[in-house]
Amino acid sequence: MKVKKLNELDVSGKRVFIRADLNVPQDDAGNITEDTRIRASIPSIQYCLDQNAAVMVTSHLGRPTEGQLSADDSLMPVAVRLGQLLNCPVRLINNWINGDFEVKPGEVVLLENCRGNVGEKKNNEELAKKMAALCDVYVNDAFGTAHRAEATTEGIARFAPVACAGMLMGAEIDALSKATENPARPLVAIVGGAKVSSKLTILRTLADKVDQLIVGGGIANTFLLASGKRIGESLAEPELVKEAQAIMDMMKARGAEVPLPVDVVVADEVSALARANRIPADEVGAHDRILDVGPKTAAKLADIIAHAGTIVWNGPVGVFEHAQFAGGTKMMASAIAHSEAFSIAGGGDTLAAIAKFHIAEDIGYISTGGGAFLEFLEGKTLPAIAALEERFDN
């Protein structure tokens, strides 16, 4: 992927517009509960400030109705956090589309939630042109939003005088390319989480590329069903059993494998107080719900991970939020942490598991993308990256 990179440009004295992904989780009172994306956006901003550029940063927050921003949609808490991390004041600018604000060289301002602007989501050309006119250099550092073709992620890249990738975007592209183009073998993918259908395309693409496809959560239950096992009242998608079967067949034909659980942890409810039982995978009762893999399975998965050359991780294998269903995910997390393989992880639940088991330092690369991470792995063209590629030579 050939894109211009911010760290190869001289932006001194220039007006720089940075599209970051500062879409962070907040509690009911609006406090930021997890600030990884804000921290990850600092290097590009700092680089521009160090070069005495006049820096404008924007991002979306949530999915507000265009033209009707409410107090809950405001980037104000993000402006405060940015200021703390940059150690300088960060003014928040409302109604910025027409450029009725000032920003001096060496200063950074935050432009209020870009999804407040009418036309942002539909990638309106007039809006994109107006935003492009605000800057000399457009920087896209919003990898987490790279799968969306919106005015600040795609349109503006076509009209700004210069369009380049920020440091985070560059690092994401490099790490994900390393895991997908010519990866060290065996390539092991872990795809967990509640549903199969939302991750079906990725499973199909991965089945064609990886040596081992570890499935977890509701996805694994559907695969168990496909292999003829009873799963009681476990979460699954019976209508997708054929698809699961096709994926297993595809893997088998290539001499690869979908390792299915041989034992599981069941309970009759998902709660912190639920009584958990460890049982063989073929002894699941009519009212049982499978909420984690059992210890034998966890050990088997850990062994597969230990022998991997590359590990791609999206999604937990159990309801790790509750201690009695956390064993499988914990064991897997620890195996990834101890592995010599290049590992890459992404997605909200995965990041929460990484934080919970304190293994962030031991993961090769932690992506700030959820949907964008999955679509990149699927081999899809991400519109925001494609727009930067278009501007490589001009």
**Residue number with CB closer to ligand 3PG (63 or 254):** 63
Q: Would you say 166 and 388 are in contact if contact means Cβ atoms under 8 Å apart? A: no
**Residue number with CB closer to ligand 3PG (15 or 148):** 148
Binding site annotation covers 268?
Answer: no
Q: What is the DSSP string of 223-256?
A: HHHHTT---TT----GGGHHHHHHHHHHHHHTT-
Is position 152 an interface residue for ligand 3PG (rule: CB under 6 A)?
no
Work out the number of other CB atoms within 10 angstroms of the CB of residue 292: 31
Q: Which of 91, 371, 386, 390 binds Mg ion (CB under 5 A)?
A: 371
Q: Edge-to-edge, what's the strand order for the sheet holding 365-366?
A: 212-215, 187-191, 310-314, 342-345, 365-366
Q: Which of 6, 11, 21, 135 binds ligand 3PG (CB under 6 A)?
A: 21
**Among the candidate windows 12-20, 47-55, 141-149, 188-196, which touches ligand 3PG by CB under 6 A?**
141-149
Report the DSSP pairing between strands 289-293 and 263-267.
antiparallel
Nearest-approach distance from CB 223 to Mg ion, in angstroms: 25
**Pair of tokens at residue 390:** 């278009």
Select the residue whose beta carbon is closest to Mg ion and give its number: 371
Question: Which positions ≥6 away from 321 have C-beta within 8 Å?
Answer: none
Nearest-approach distance from CB 115 to ligand 3PG, in angstroms: 8
Please, what is the angle between helix 200-207 and helix 241-253, to 10°? Answer: 20
Rounded to whole angstroms, how far apart are CA atoms 362 and 18? 30
Question: Binding partner of residue 4 among ligand 3PG, Mg ion, none, CB under 5 to 8 Å per kind?
Answer: none
Q: Which residues are tagged catalytic?
A: 37, 195, 348, 371
Number of residues this chain uses to bind ligand 3PG (CB under 6 A): 8
The count of residues in the chain is: 394
**Residue number with CB closer to ligand 3PG (148 or 391):** 148
**Residue number with CB closer to ligand 3PG (23 or 221):** 23
Which spans of this chain sit near Mg ion (rule: CB under 5 A)? 371
Which residues of the chain form contacts with ligand 3PG (CB under 6 A)? 21, 23, 63, 144-145, 148, 370-371
